[in-house]
Structure 1
Amino acid sequence: MAAIKIAGATVNQTPLDWEGNLDRIIRAVAQAKNQQVEILCFPELAITGYGSEDLFLSYWYPKKALSQLEKLIPHCSGITVAVGLPVRIQEKVYNTVAVIEDAELKGFVAKQFLAIDGVHYEFRWFTPWAAGEVIAFDFLGKEVPFGDLTFHHKDIHYGFEICEDAWRGKERPGYRLCERKVDLIFNPSASHFAMGKSAERKELIEFSSETFGTYYCYVNLLGNEAGRMIFDGEILLGKAGKLLARNQLLSFQDFQLLAFDLEEKAQGLTPMQAKEWEFVQASALGLFDYLRKSRSKGFVLSLSGGADSSTIAVLVAEMVRRGMAELGVKTFVEKLGIAFSPQSENPEKELVGQLLTTAYQGTKNSSEDTFNSAKALAESIGARFHSWTIDEEVKSYTSKIEAAIGRKLTWEQDDITLQNIQARSRSPIIWMLANLNNALLLSTSNRSEGDVGYATMDGDTSGSISPIAAVDKHFILHWLQWAEQNLDRPGLSYVNSLTPTAELRPLERTQTDEKDLMPYSVIVEIEKLAIRDRRSPMDVFLILKEELPLDESVLKDYIKKFFRLWSRNQWKRERLAPSFHLDEFNVDPKTWYRFPILSGGFAEELEQLDHL
């Protein structure tokens, strides 16, 4: 086989940013040509962005994508370029890769298997292509082949599996490509980030390259493209069951290029990182892209001093730290579209202060501990910090209701009402601060609270974006301990010494989250089985009674509580602010798990537990 250089190019794209998307592709092509790359592969749907949603269903959108392809072709002289885009043929839209060789379009490869699980709804937009089928497609008056194609470059025979194609076991196109004796398989992908997912991809590339006896090149999209999914920009090359090259993930750059000489030896392997590091990197990039693509000027956060809001404050600080380190201060602020002139030897803290405004909104039920925790953390990362009380607002609302109903509200009779009015009273004033700053309000809900509705709608759920809504509280508590040491964030020492509490009841009632609910570690185990694995209440009990050191009656009560709270709080999950997909699953009905707002609430299923 000829000794050639190939490359993968990951790009940070945005739906409807036609000029920007094309420019990033063209710049990557130019860089590849400078490095004497002969075949360059871009990710799936790189021209439009994967997150274009129902735009794919329109007639004009795929047509516009083809016009962008036409503009790209002249830039591909002296190189072969594979780039993803949607193509409409009559009433059907196909997810394709266009192959351009020396400024001439050679054909379109169409995706054969569509992703329809988890965050993916590809069958809504696209039609799968039949294996072995090839038709003629009219492109600018010239017929080009379209369908299940392979190509040749010098004496190299190469083909494609497009993302989901590679995850279909014995049905996957790779086996047929192997029968056609290809030497090289490209996998252009739009594979959403999830903690630990990179290890799965590594196994896929090693298995594929060994099983098919080919080089296998994987290229993923990059960045928070359209609001929820984050793409890690992973590029991998494997041969004979061994991983030969891997890039640095979750870059703040517009694009990354990783070139390989086709030889069977390692050419640079960036090591895989632990889940805690992945969480930091993905969240930082997700916040950065959301901030600049929404054209906002910063973030506002109601900083309670507790675990959730403290986690988000640190993630914003890490966004600044990592963005500055990779891009430099000048490029970082230019990409955000803000003016910044460092005035000290610590531009990182200065920039955090410009981008993140926090406020501690106390009541008579708040403790000095949480105030000190919030203040110390804000000061340690450089965030602007305000503090005020909302007792007047709470009193005003309460007195009006008491006058209307003709009685005093009491904790014995009106517990939920008195808790919720405190959380809701914090919302209008923090929104004012966000509006004044042209900033995004950060909501602090986590996945465990989303499971059981342990959040006040229009209170702590208020926000433009909810960065940690897809992450469980058990992980967050662990991560904060880890972050204090590994990220050098001494300001977290206060929050790490506190027991999680909503601080909405009087202090003498000693409210804690786990006392209100159940241990967060138990919620995690129940939700994995009930939501991720879609198990029944009985299945959950039978499995967990063997795994958790709990009395069976206590476990049954926890399971009943989880399913009852889950089913009655779907309406809250429907209204949560957009969140990042960060873990293997989430509870966002718009991306991962749909559930009826109105239901019978597992009544029969839970009753069965009582008769076991």
Structure 2
Amino acid sequence: MATALRIVLAQLNMRVGDIDGNLQRILDSSVQAKQHLQADLIVFPELSLCGYNAQDLLLRDSMQVRIERALERLCTALPHNLHVLVGYPWLEQGHRYNCCAHVFQGQIQAVYKKQFLPTDTVFYENRYFTPDNQALCIEINQVKIALGICEDVWQPEFIEQACAANAQMIVSLNASPYHLNKQTEREQMLSRQTQKAQMPIIYVNQVGAQDDLIFDGGSCAVDAQGNLRQRAPAFSEELCALELQFTHSTSHVEKTTISPLLSEEASAYQALMLSLRDYVNYNGFKGVLLGLSGGIDSALVLAIAADALGAEQVQAVMMPYHYTAQISQDDAAAQARIMGVDYKTIAIAPMVEAFIETLKPVFAQMPSIANDTTEENLQARCRGNVLMALSNKNGYLVLTTSNKSETAVGYATLYGDMAGGFALLKDLPKCLVYRLARYRNSLSPVIPERVITRAPSAELSPDQKDQDSLPPYDVLDEILRLYVEEDLSAQAIIAKGFKQEMVMRILRLIDINEYKRRQAAVGPRISKRSFGSDRRYPISNLWARGD
């Protein structure tokens, strides 16, 4: 005789530190799952009570007190005839665990503690948690379910435990950060693991953004044969119902909605919108402000900001100097008009010239008095001061516009174009900036065509072009990818056909500009390795760059 089990995957945006708010989301979702979706079981993401990644908030004594109170209320307020799996941190005999509670009929029936703690890329779980070594199965409607938390389900030892316990299915609670093509990687892994285990895996993932991390959702179900049977939409909150049928020796996972995988461009664009929206809203900013130069980077930032927040919450400022081309001013004004954002022009020539005049007597005593990057940086810093002054007055968040390629090699000015609170393009190489601009215009044309087709320039000196001092961006971006994301040595990169002199110069620029990146604003991570929490290099660095 077949046994049915109806599960709801609660793909929610759980906010770090908002224990009361997260608790209310859990309670509201549980009522909806029972009353409207007829669920037997609802599953919430990893550490859903405190939010992920809570970092050193977990170390505060008050965290345990607040979690205890939340669990007490959870038990009393949940529908008694609904099984609930919820994640939370727990301190026990001096050890802190990453836990999943099985709550039913007003009580915590069982607690699973995460066994495998990731310590690579953005993860530091061994700083906060102690790994457990005990498997746990629960039984619902006579179906034996093995519980896992995020990294657990990737490990062959966990799958072996589930099989040894004669489990009939696996449920995994996750807070799995996004990077390009991550959903494909997850589903390929789940397909392999289900075929090894010969049982379905239900995978629930968080959605939303926290500082530099983005959680894309994509909660899914994979049957015992490795076939995808459900995929929730990316980047949106969803309660997804799923029905499974079990006999003594077989399982069947009902096929429901399989939301399409997004293209790289669509995925990255939605990820950036979500990241900016959550950062602005959670931190209480009234809106965002950026310098609109007429170039490709600021054009893309403006498009994402207006799409994410609405035109009424976006302000753009053109700050021309002597070297700013008229077409840059025209294109910036045209895009601002198309997107309906507030637009101002503030000339910086009086400020720059006042600085130069003030410094002239001092510069005259120095070995070189010719104009160089000093005067260029003064232009960028005057623009940064204008934006920060406007931000102080109106409470808007300043968005910086430097991309990953520029950030890598130091082509950004400290306290100038790096001034601001959120670096939206921080993890986008220049070639991806162009691809996203083309993608956005394919939806509706908002970025003037010649902004995309013109040779990129900072316009800090006459007829300046990026390619005067840098390799073509397709070449530069590939060298950066190999060195930063793949950790290849200089010799390994040269062996792929790149010129030795160029490689050594680019790698030197990357290494010596670490001090700038340490002072950069936080920005969303969309690659496997960003300039942020998952790449920690010393500033004073004498490492041999040929290794």
**TM value normalised by structure 2:** 0.95
Give the SS at the match of 1:185. Answer: strand
Partner of 2:262: 273
| One of 373, 376, 382 as aligned partner of 1:419 | 376
Give the SS at the match of 2:253. Answer: coil
Is the aligned partner of 1:318 residue 2:307?
yes
Give the SS at the match of 1:389. Answer: coil
Query: Post-superposition shift, 1:482?
Result: 2.7
AA aligned to 1:118 is: T
| One of 524, 527, 533 as aligned partner of 1:580 | 524
Aligned pairs for 1:83-482 (under 5 A) are 83-130=86-133, 132=134, 148-168=135-155, 170-171=156-157, 173-224=158-209, 226-239=210-223, 240-251=225-236, 255-262=237-244, 263-320=252-309, 351-352=310-311, 354-406=312-364, 413-482=370-439
Aligned pairs for 1:580-599 (under 5 A) are 580-588=524-532, 591-599=533-541
1:241–1:50: structure 2 CA closer, same or farther, 3 Å change rule? same
Instruction: Identify which range, 44-53 or 209-218, moves more after superposition.
Output: 209-218
CA distance in 2: counterparts of 1:199 and 1:372, whole angstroms = 42
AA aligned to 2:211 is: G
Which runs of 5 or more residues in structure 2 are unaligned?
A: 245-251
Query: Post-superposition shift, 1:101?
Result: 1.8
Query: Post-superposition shift, 1:425?
Result: 0.9
| Identity across the alignment (%) | 28
Q: Is the 8 A contact 2:299 2:447 kept in 1?
A: no
Partner of 2:508: 564
Query: Post-superposition shift, 1:601?
Result: 5.5
AA aligned to 1:52 is: A
Query: Post-superposition shift, 1:407?
Result: 5.9
| One of 488, 507, 522 as aligned partner of 2:444 | 488
AA aligned to 2:116 is: F
Query: Post-superposition shift, 1:490?
Result: 3.8
AA aligned to 1:503 is: E
CA distance in 2: counterparts of 1:409 and 1:259, whole angstroms = 73
Aligned pairs for 1:506-525 (under 5 A) are 506=462, 510-525=463-478
Partner of 1:54: 56
1:409–1:270: structure 2 CA closer, same or farther, 3 Å change rule? farther
**Matched residue pairs, number?**
536
Partner of 2:247: none
Q: Is the 8 A contact 1:63 1:88 kept in 2?
A: no
AA aligned to 2:506 is: F
Q: Is the 8 A contact 1:466 1:577 kept in 2?
A: yes
Query: Post-superposition shift, 1:520?
Result: 1.4
AA aligned to 2:40 is: E
Query: Post-superposition shift, 1:363?
Result: 0.5
Q: Is the 8 A contact 1:362 1:388 kept in 2?
A: yes
Give the SS at the match of 1:385. Answer: strand
CA distance in 2: counterparts of 1:556 and 1:17, whole angstroms = 52
CA distance in 2: counterparts of 1:499 and 1:62, whole angstroms = 56
Give the SS at the match of 2:406. Answer: helix
Give the SS at the match of 1:494. Answer: helix
Give the SS at the match of 1:584. Answer: coil
Q: Is the 8 A contact 1:76 1:100 kept in 2?
A: no
CA distance in 1: counterparts of 2:219 and 2:486, whole angstroms = 30
Is the aligned partner of 1:69 residue 2:71?
yes
Partner of 1:530: 483
Query: Post-superposition shift, 1:473?
Result: 0.8
Q: Is the 8 A contact 2:265 2:435 kept in 1?
A: no
CA distance in 1: counterparts of 2:335 and 2:366, whole angstroms = 38
Q: Is the 8 A contact 1:28 1:256 kept in 2?
A: no
CA distance in 2: counterparts of 1:577 and 1:425, whole angstroms = 18
Partner of 2:249: none
Partner of 1:140: none
Give the SS at the match of 1:563. Answer: helix
Query: Post-superposition shift, 1:277?
Result: 0.4
Q: Is the 8 A contact 2:437 2:447 kept in 1?
A: no
Partner of 2:85: 82
Query: Post-superposition shift, 1:409?
Result: 10
CA distance in 2: counterparts of 1:111 and 1:492, whole angstroms = 51
CA distance in 1: counterparts of 2:159 and 2:457, whole angstroms = 52
CA distance in 2: counterparts of 1:405 and 1:38, whole angstroms = 76
1:72–1:193: structure 2 CA closer, same or farther, 3 Å change rule? same
Query: Post-superposition shift, 1:319?
Result: 1.2
Is the aligned partner of 1:36 residue 2:38?
yes
Query: Post-superposition shift, 1:72?
Result: 0.8
CA distance in 2: counterparts of 1:76 and 1:597, whole angstroms = 54
Task: Please report the RMSD computed on the Cα atoms of aligned residues, expressed in angstroms.
Answer: 1.7
Give the SS at the match of 1:158. Answer: strand
Partner of 2:456: 500
Query: Post-superposition shift, 1:184?
Result: 1.4
1:408–1:368: structure 2 CA closer, same or farther, 3 Å change rule? farther
- Deviations, residues 189-246 of structure 1 (Å, cap 9, x unaligned): 010111211111111222222221212111111101x322111122101102111011
Q: Is the 8 A contact 1:461 1:577 kept in 2?
A: yes
Instruction: Identify which range, 263-272 or 234-243, moves more after superposition.
Output: 263-272
Partner of 2:17: 16
Query: Post-superposition shift, 1:481?
Result: 2.1
**TM value normalised by structure 1:** 0.85
AA aligned to 2:464 is: Q
Instruction: Identify which range, 518-527 or 82-91, moves more after superposition.
Output: 518-527
AA aligned to 2:536 is: R
